[in-house]
Amino acid sequence: LVLRCSLCGSRAFTRVRYSRLSLCRRHYAEFFERRVKNTVERYRLFKNVKRLLVCVSGGKDSVAMLYALKPYAEKCNVELLGLTIDLGIGDYSKRSVEAAVEAFKNNDVEYLLVDLSAEYGFDLDTVAENVEKLRMPKGVCSYCGSVKRYIFNKAALDSECDAVATGHNLDDLLSFTLTSMASGQVDLLIKLQPKNRGVDRLVTRIRPLATLTNRETLLYVMSIGASYVDLECPYTPERSMQKTIVEKLSEIEHRYPGFKLALYKSLLRVLRKTEVKTGPLVHCEKCGMPSSTRICSFCRLKSLMTERIGEKTTETRVTARRV
Ligand SMILES: [Zn+2]
Ligand SMILES: [Zn+2]
């Protein structure tokens, strides 16, 4: 038995269970793009946006976001500017940046490439090395997240973009929210939204893939034949609460198609009725960026890391002289 596309009768590529549709590659891609467009419209993601910074890591999600968003942004007169960061995680970063650049070129999108090491004097490999050595309070992924958020925001300000788009999907948002709630960080619930309006020098954040799952996003990049990096970052822990949550939610989704989206929409409704307190925002004394502390977390990390790199080169020089 060959499954046929419900729309055109050619060989089906996949079945969208909650819509009871079998779709060929082309019709699946259209289905996905329409879902992204509906998300942008329903949550008014393009409201007051003339120029949008699209952050692409080279992974499947951000690549999918760029391809799905480009034609629609054009129609809405929203100019796209790409951003990719070389975090300095060995071969993984090299291949990620290549995939991102390829996606920008294929979509005819101008882009910025920020080399963390060249621009700020440290890379993620150095952070990872020192997280253990110095017994730093957070994990590598947490510092990496803060580095990325900082650079996204700074690049958006510098290039006069009105908003920053990231490729977080439904699984990311649900698992992040549930992990935050499990650790009592109710304030973080606000990041569940497809859009966080900017304040002060914090640029508006939008998440156009907020209603699409990991699987749907993967199928989309496959359906259009876009290349992406399917490596996992070497610093991602093998097991984490967030990964476990994604696995369990996917088991439920498999048995009850549409479960994730229904849960997401309900959480958004709860959030709308909740008053989430955010701390007062000050400006970092070193870089002037918005911060909740006197010196922002990025500047603190940067000075700690560059100090460590400085010590290392001195050590090497001493040994060399001794020889
Ligand atoms: Zn079809
Ligand atoms: Zn700072």
pLDDT in tens, 274-300: 877 777 789 999 999 999 899 999 999
- 3-class DSSP assignment, residue 164: strand
Q: Indicate the pairing of strand 204-206 with strand 21-23.
A: unpaired
Residue with tokens 């999907």: 169
CA 204 – ligand 1 centroid, Å: 37
Largest CA distance in the chain: 76
Cα of 116 vs centre of ligand 2, distance in Å, is 15
pTM confidence score: 0.92
- Between CA 258 and CA 30 the distance in angstroms is 19
Q: How far is the CA of 82 from the centre of ligand 1 (A)?
A: 31
Among the bound ligands, name the one nearest to the CA of residue 26: 1
Residue 221 alpha carbon to ligand 1 centre in Å: 17
The CA 290 to ligand 2 mean position distance, Å, reads 8
Give the model confidence (pLDDT) of 109-122 as tens digits.
999 999 999 999 99
Q: Which ligand is nearest to the CA of 23?
A: 1
Kindly report, residue by residue over 84-109, the tens digit of the pLDDT. Answer: 999 999 999 999 999 999 999 999 99
Nearest ligand to the CA of 223 is: 1
Name the pLDDT band for 314 (thresholds 50, 70, 90).
low
Q: Span 53-67, mean pLDDT?
A: 98
